[in-house]
Copies of this chain bind each other. A is one copy, B any other.
Amino acid sequence: MIELTNKPIDVAKLVATAQQPSAGAVVLFLGITREFTEGKQTTTLYYEAYEAMAHSELTRLHDEACKRWPLVECRLIHRLGEVPLTETSVAVVASAPHRDAAFAAARWLIDNIKLSVPIWKQEHWSDGTQEWVHPGKKQDG
């Protein structure tokens, strides 16, 4: 199951869906809004998506993970719009009979979400400036 949402992510509900009788291990990863990045202070973050493609990329990653590992449950949720400090922007949960698969799948999923899903974050810095984050980008001009 994958989801893009403008609302806060209900982590308790998400973890509960992964707790099924054939699973022995659940791994949850949350990406949350951090206050400091290389000494600069974040006030809040906004996320924008190319929604149709983000949906299909998340689905592709979900299905690929289910092929690679014997997962009992696998869910990916990304929040869009404003995500205040300490709140969850992305949640990945994977459950499996044993922990190797659950850890490997959760790690692979978040690594690949960060590589290929068309979602972007905009930093709102404490000095009042805003900045779209594009990894690898040098400052133009």
Contacts and interface: CB of A to CB of B under 8 A. Distances in A.
Q: How many copies does the complex hold?
A: 2
Interface stretch (A14-22, A62-70, A122-130): A14-22
A27 B28 contact: yes
Contact of A107 (B35, B97, B103, B110): B103
Size category of the A interface is 20 to 34
A34 B21 contact: yes
Contacts of A85: 21
A55 to B, nearest CB: 23
A26 interface: yes
A29 B32 contact: no
30 contacts: A11-B11, A11-B12, A11-B15, A15-B15, A19-B30, A19-B32, A19-B86, A21-B34, A21-B86, A22-B34, A22-B35, A23-B34, A24-B31, A24-B33, A24-B34, A25-B30, A26-B29, A26-B32, A27-B27, A27-B29, A27-B30, A27-B106, A28-B28, A28-B29, A29-B99, A29-B103, A31-B99, A34-B97, A103-B103, A103-B106
